[in-house]
Amino acid sequence: LANDTTFLEEIESSLKIERYMRLNSALKSNSNIEAIKLVKAGEKNERRERANLLLRELIRTSDIYVNNEKLDIKEKNPEERINDALRSLVDIVYSKLGYIKKSITSTKEIVDILLNDNNQVTINSLNENPNKNAVDEVNRYIERQSIGNNSITVKSVINHFIKAPFGWSDLDIEGIIAYLFKNQNIKMEFGGENLSTNDKNVTNYITKRDNLEKTKIKTRVSVPDSHIKSAKNISNLVFNTTITKFDEDSVMIDFKETLKDNLNYIKQLLEQYRRFNYPGKKILERGQELIEEVLSYKEPVAFFKTVNSLKGDFEDYGDDVADVLSFFKQGNPQKKNFETAIDRIEHSKENMSYLDEEAKELIEQMKNIVNMESPYKNIHELPIIIDKYNDKLVELYEEEAKKVRPIIKSHQEEVLNYLRKFNFYDEFKSRYFDKFENLNEELNSVRRFSDVVAIPDKSDRIKNQCIKEIDMEYKNRMPDKVTESEEDDCDGGSAVLIQQKTILIAKSSIIPYQPVIKSREDIDILIKAIETKLEKELEEKGEFKLV
């Protein structure tokens, strides 16, 4: 200010008048005193106005210094000169405050940054950040701290940039951090887990007071474009899924989702191998190992580096697994034909002794195909081989059936001949005739040799049951004068006392059906067996008659 103290004298006189009036305000007043006070009050106000005018004039023309430097501010309104000076002071102390061209006023704006629809936000894009210089400052600061292996958190970044020479607001700093994160200049961790730009909680990790110290920041090492391209190519060529994103985080997320879907499908397919030894199990297991290895990486650089290094393995897997996936595809007959072939092979194991050379050769042809490591080009041959084998089985069944039908016929005739001895023959003839005809129908429908072989025993049981029923019917119809002795079962046979001491025994219970005699020794064995049986019947039942 100029060397003029008049304004100070005016201020001093004004203050003295104000002090006088305050100290004497409690005295008794009269009209003279009130008149004096009124005059002095007017004088006080006049002096203040003169002091104000004098001071404003001095400021308008005075020299202004900031930080020991004279400012070149033209003479003008005092308020404007003071504001200009204060702005200059701020510019000197907070020299980088002006880097914030567009301030953030709410967390919603931070959410908008993170939800930017661009595949990748770039400083040099058409959507250039107006706070470019501030973004660069924060990015360089994080890079420097990372080089020194210093722990960086959202809190530490905010603390640095709210001070001189920056003086930025918390929201502005948090917005820049969100921008760098979206731009993939930095990566963030919370609770030891890498955060994704798609994580809905990222805004809270950046802005909530309780999370600021827990959210760690690191400089992101960029992933080579070739590695990202490898992942997208593998997704497209091997897993038939196109990834349209370009930034590494989005590509990583989409590719991982594709891998997880395929891994789940592989596990579902491997469950089916519990039922049959389908081809391609090793291929699926190799694919499972590849996918699980890649999914174990959470950090983008390591993730894409691993994917790129396994590119050849994925391509080989893609070539090999195509046939496997086609095999299990709904509507493809390969799987059904393969299962039928396995069923026929298992059938042959149970009936090998009944098969001829032609049937065995057909089984070998099926085995050669189903045991191939990659049978997919040969599976189409299976239906023809299976049909030939089934036709051959029908022939072999029929050959076995030819041996059995006479036995059924013999048992049928034996029952009917026995029935003829009684006066209720006509009443029961069709009933017992049908029992054996039904057995013939069963014989025509069986599809296992073991079932064919079991028919004679079943026929014999039916025969014995029929004879037993006939005996029971006769006993129920006997006159009262005829006394009943005893009824007994003997090895499938049955006896009813017609006369008091005589019991009827079926010959079939004594002589085995169609014994094969090849030598004198066979005759001796048969005679001995019959003799033993007859002696036993005589001992247990006494007198009997063979019918």
- Taking only the tens place, the pLDDT of each residue in 201-212 is 999 999 999 999
Mean pLDDT of 147-153: 85
Pick from 505, 497, 501: nearest CA to 537: 505
Cα 64–68–73 angle (5° rounding)?
Answer: 25
Distance CA 14, CA 8 (A): 10
Helix axes of 248-272 and 225-237: crossing angle, nearest 10 degrees: 30
Average pLDDT in the chain: 84
Q: For residue 41, give the amino acid letter.
A: A
- Taking only the tens place, the pLDDT of each residue in 266-276 is 999 999 999 88
Determine how many CB atoms are found less than 10 A away from the CB of residue 68. 5
- DSSP for residue 222: P
Pick from 413, 406, 402: nearest CA to 435: 413
Pick from 479, 469, 466, 544: nearest CA to 510: 544
- DSSP for residue 218: E
Q: Provide the whole-model pTM.
A: 0.61
Distance of CA 93 to the CA centre of its chain: 58
Residues 6+ apart with CB under 8 A from 421: 547
167-181, 201-215, 523-537: range with lowest mean pLDDT: 523-537
pLDDT bracket for residue 59 (50, 70, 90): confident
The b-or-e profile of 70-81 (16+ CB within 10 A means b, else e) is: eeebeeeebeeb
Instruction: For residue 411, count CB atoms less than 10 angstroms from its CB and return exposed for 0-12, middle for 13-18, buried for 19 or more.
Output: buried
pLDDT bracket for residue 36 (50, 70, 90): confident
Q: Helices in 329-423 by DSSP H: which ranges?
A: 333-351, 357-370, 382-419
For residue 432, what are the CA distances in angstroms to 410, 438, 445, 493?
A: 13, 10, 21, 17
Dig out the tokens for 14 from the structure: 């004004």
Decide if 367 contacts 395 (C-beta within 8 A): no
